[in-house]
Structure 1
Amino acid sequence: MKKSILLMALIWGFCISTFAQQKNQYVKIETPQGWCLVKLYNETPVHRDNFIKLVKSHYFDATTFNRILKNFVIQGGDQDSLYEKGHVLKPEMYWIAPEFVPELYHHRGVVAMGRDGNAAESSFTTQFYIVDGKTYTDEQLDAIEIKYKNHFTAEQRNAYRTIGGTPRLDQHYTVFGEIVKGIDLIDKITAVKVDKAGNPDTPVWMKLTLLTDKEADKILK
């Protein structure tokens, strides 16, 4: 038993070390309102690699940000209805198991995968969202911890008090990246005119590009 525990600890330590050493990859998101640069997390490799595959195939370029909810999220990719009502899903459309990492949370600017209400909390492969959110008090965060069975660290609480986010989604939806340049795009997109359901009057198209290291470094300078 002790040997098994030691082996598991060594494997976990190796995985963490590998994630830390692996260089991050970056995706540029362009829209009619402007652009932003997203850093993909290595801690969620399945979601990262799925996203990269779809970006490379230009899958998302044929979709839009179809659900824009100020103070909550900007959702894009395939709509829920395509999963719920579609008789035949496209090859790219399926579910992937969640990759919940306590250190990755829904602060403003985070990018995560959408899903339906499945019990396993598995993600849709072709739907993602960007967090807008709002700020919270400690009392509100206490209530969310109880209701959604979460635990917020001091760092997370400070982020939710100051820059905001959507804390109730933590450990229920998989976070796999964050905006590191051009976060003002959130304000520009949430300023577009939408109906009560968050559907924009004018389509908000998107173009996603996986950048080379040199291209990403140039933007980040």
Structure 2
Amino acid sequence: MRKLKVILLSLLLVSSFACAGNKDYVATIETKHGKIIAIFFDDTPVHKSNFIALAEKGRFDSTEFHRVMKGFMAQGGDVFTKEKLPPADWPTLPAEINSKHFHKRGMIAAARQPDGINPEKRSNGSQFYIVLGKVYSEEELLVNMSSLQSAFMKYIQLGSQEELKNEYIRLYDAEKFDSLTTLLISKRKEIEESLNIKVTKDITPERIEAYTTIGGTPHLDGEYTVFGQVIQGMDVVDKIAEEQTDFRDKPISPVFMSVTIEKMPKKKIEKQYGFSYPESK
């Protein structure tokens, strides 16, 4: 009889864990422009639980999207300034940088202090940003621009490249920096062959696909913890990014937020928001 009870209890526990695994937390970030719906990743547990705890206690409410840069990101959730906590006392979170999660459009990542004072890349304990970014060509993604620039300067010193050198000087003097970038990239292959060097980066097909279609901010990869994703409402983030800003990139007309959390079955999340969990693929 006791053995039967143990078996029944074990089955009940397994069933409970299975049910818990079939549900997830959904955040609704409400703004004057509309609602942003987001989920958070299980493999960034510290950041996920921290965001949920702050939201459930209402601590995000009345914070702003205080730093907005069109074509880059929208940052908000400055709980500790709202609560008048001195910056020196702001809590931080350990980095949970995971190569699976990168800065494609719609990703949510944690803000942080720069490496000079934060070499461990610890995250701010409340502030987050939503990635906007831009669409890249495959060539732009593959090229290591710092290496290419250095190699290009060596290349144009060759006597055979006088015409290219003059073109570089002309574009530089005219401050046509986008055209300069295009020129450098167009010469990549011949520079690699001539100087016998490699100026390209290794990047996964998944990232190439994302950055060349929906876009993002690839230069932030590996530097900040990406811990969530917008699953509905990127049009709202775009509207926030259209706000007129001051010299600090802060919207002149404040964009306040309130955040609520709801636990929902994953199947419902997939059906309602068109999001697909990796285990469902």
For the 8 Å contact 1:79–1:127, the answer to whether it is kept is yes
CA-CA distance at 1:136 after TM superposition: 1.2
8 A contact 1:27–1:209 mirrored in 2: yes
Structure 2 CA distance for partners of 1:62 and 1:144, relative to 1, 3 Å: farther
Structure with the larger helix share: 2
Report whether the alignment pairs 1:107 with 2:123. no
* 8 Å contact kept, 1:113–1:176: yes
Give the aligned partner of residue 29 of structure 2. 29
1:191-218 deviations in whole A, cap 9, x for unaligned? 1111233111111000111013169748
Counterpart for residue 153 of structure 1? 204
Q: 1:98 to 1:22 in 2, by over 3 A?
A: farther
- Cα distance, 1:60–1:165 mapped onto 2, change above 3 Å: same
Residues in 2 aligned to 1:79 and 1:179: alpha-carbon distance in whole angstroms: 20
Query: Residues 108 and 144 (structure 1 numbering): CA distance in 2 closer, same or farther, change over 3 Å?
Result: farther
- The whole-number CA distance in structure 2 between the counterparts of 1:87 and 1:188 is 30
**Residue in 1 aligned with 2:52?**
52
Report deviation, 1:42.
0.7
CA distance in 2: counterparts of 1:174 and 1:100, whole angstroms: 5
Deviation of residue 94 (structure 1)?
1.0
User: Unpaired runs of 5+ in structure 2?
Assistant: 1-17, 148-199, 275-281
Does 2:240 match 1:189? yes
- The yes-or-no answer on 1:76 pairing with 2:127 is no
> Is this contact kept in 2: 1:114–1:127, CA < 8 A?
yes
Counterpart in the other structure of 1:97:
94
> CA–CA distance in 1 between the matches of 2:135 and 2:125?
29
TM score, norm. by length of structure 1: 0.79
Alignment: residue pair count: 196
The DSSP-based 3-state class of the residue aligned with 1:114 is strand
> Rg larger in 1 or in 2?
2
Structure 1: state its 5+ residue gaps: 1-17
Q: 1:151/1:74 Cα in 2 relative to 1: closer, same or farther (>3 Å)?
A: farther
| Cα separation, partners in 2 of 1:74 and 1:23, compared to 1, 3 Å | same
Identity of aligned residues (%): 36
Deviations 1:28-49 (A, max 9, x none): 1100011111011111111100
